[in-house]
Structure 1
């Protein structure tokens, strides 16, 4: 154990010990006995600082043509997805394709216009009509 090991913050993991995204650490809580947790997955429940656990999903992007439950990029720019607490409209970023993921880190470069002109103005609605999760 090194001198600085005592200063390290212990990161939260799923039951399979996979680490999750650091930018979500204060926005998630443990799921007890998650169903179908695969060895490569990280599962946590969303929770706002005010305790909200029901959300609408706002996004920039489009629904994938074959698998309608997926939000994907447009021809103009990558997707951007927010969770919005239904009790107080507190929103926080879940995913930004210009920042997160393999392509953003290693492959693609985006223009200022692509990064800034992606208004998350669509509300995700499931195939059975639910828009609060």
Structure 2
């Protein structure tokens, strides 16, 4: 990862939004592969995320990036490749920012994120590998 990403708040937020989008996509792909989700039956997706900064220096904000990934598809200009949307009948993507004081699931996500962060900063990610509740994804 380029260390300069974290020198600018807006660039950092754009990267964190990218990480959120890719993690969601990988999980949806795994659920589709396992037969839990039928992609043609998905017409609406709602995301609930902890409140955080939303301004980025990128072209899209998080909701638009999620919609692009799941509803419209994305084009990788570097490799000249189009990635089809994984939900062809998707009508809408909603994104709700929530206060963790109000929602137990957001607090639970905070606890998990803090555990992963602790393991990462302690250089102990191996303790998370192989556990089914954690799927580590390496991003550029």
Q: Which has the higher contact order (CA 8 A, sep 6+)?
A: 2
- Higher strand proportion (structure 1 or 2): 1
TM, length-normalised to structure 1: 0.26
- Higher helix proportion (structure 1 or 2): 2
TM, length-normalised to structure 2: 0.25
Larger Rg: 1
